[in-house]
Amino acid sequence: MYSRRDFVRTTSAAAVSLGPIAALAETTAETADAPVSAPNVFIRKAVKPVVISDYSGWQFKNGGSENAVERAFRMITSGTDVLESLIAGVNIPELDPLETGIGYGALPNADGVVQLDASCMHGPRKRAGAVAGIEGVRTPSLVAQAVMDYTDHHLISGEGAREFARAMGFKIEEDLNTENSRKLWREWKHRVDPEHWLDPNGAGRKPPSHERDPGDKGPRGPDGSAGPLGAHLATAEWESRALSAGRSMVRDGLIPEGSFWGTINCNGIGPNGDICGVTTTSGLAWKIPGRTGDSPILGAGLYVDNDVGVAGSTGRGEANLYNLCSFLIVESMRRGMSPKDAGMEALKRVRSNTVEARLLNDKGNPNFNIRFFVLNKLGEFAGVSMYHAGETKFAVCTENGAETRELEPLIEGAP
């Protein structure tokens, strides 16, 4: 006779062969040797809640007692919807002027205007929303949530995003700069164009020895202008100077590397296995106005599948956009990879697709960093990076409290 014990043994083996998603189901039997007379009942295991984020989710508290992962975890374990909890968590650094990579007081674009992006995904409801290039709203994550909840769209951008926010009752401010972010923008302008943007206390205050003529090299557009049009229609030389000036400010300790690239990604799973995620950013510091990176793009800056897991990223957005890494990571987990291995697979894809000389270091590897924060349906998680350099830790909150963990790099050393 085929016993219930035999059934349990074979179905358990099948679950193992199907990977971590199938392992969420387990069989129960009161009498192991009783004949099988009815279909077996599968009961889904409870999952211990977990919240993960990049280091911003640990570092900033906006003058309060909680950081982002602590608030999100507390709310999730109190019964609040997972996405609502995560967004409430990232609102802390969005509103903290000391966090210059997102929200209020973030590093502006090349014209000195703060433009923000955000996306969110609700796993069990199969919904998503995002905004790109929005101005005047300190918490773009909440506007992205409103796009998800109140519209048929997934992404609203630019002036349309701002007017949508206004219609939804959000406060629209004229300028999200703080004195600090404006001061840093002036320093960047001085470094990229020292002949026109002078250090008020430096040697640059002396009169120029000649007037600039049209043949001189400098940060000019195709029309020869050095003003906003020249910046917006930037040549490759100007782009190189602009990026180099920004990186020099990181090297000089004026801005942290995380703020230069911007972004917080925060993902979580609730006790019933619901998975959600949110990403919010000011994007690349001093970017060409209108530039949109990976953060508001589903499958790039964030991707959630409630049956599998979630992934999000920080770092060079263009690399993530080209490879749609968050989608790749979730699909790799669907095929049975662990969060760490799936993240490493995406890093390898980025490395193999980075071929332009301007993006490579002297070893032929990418000259930039990128990080992924990954969580699967079992509550297993990982933080991985191209290099263990710059921002080297990520934040986690579990029943044991909030802590930081080391990011695991693909390549040793620094970019």
pLDDT digits (tens, 9 = 90+) for 49-103: 999 999 999 999 999 999 999 999 999 999 999 999 999 999 999 999 999 999 9
Considering the chain, what is the average pLDDT of its residues? 86
Here the tokens at position 2 are 């085929």
With beta carbons less than 8 A apart as the criterion, state whether 383 and 407 touch. Answer: yes
- Ordered strands of the 155-157 beta sheet: 155-157, 127-134, 116-122, 275-281, 264-269, 50-54, 393-398, 401-406
The identity of residue 112, as a single letter, is G
pLDDT > 90: percent of the chain = 72
Closest Cα partner for 270 from 29, 119, 80, 126?
80
Residues 385 and 265: their CA atoms lie apart, in Å, by 14
pLDDT (tens digit, 9 = 90+) per residue, 14-38?
444 444 444 444 333 333 344 444 4
Q: Going by CATH, does the domain composed of 50-177+257-411 fall within 3.40.50.970?
A: no
**pTM for this predicted structure:** 0.83
Provide the 3-class DSSP secondary structure of residue 269: strand
Average pLDDT over residues 286-297: 96
Residue spans per domain, the chain: 4-44, 50-177+257-411, 179-251
Q: Confidence band (pLDDT; 50, 70, 90) for 45? A: low
Flag whether pLDDT at 211 surpasses 90.
no
pLDDT at position 212 is 38
DSSP state string for 299-311: TTTEEEETTTEEE
**Radius of gyration, CA atoms only, the chain:** 24
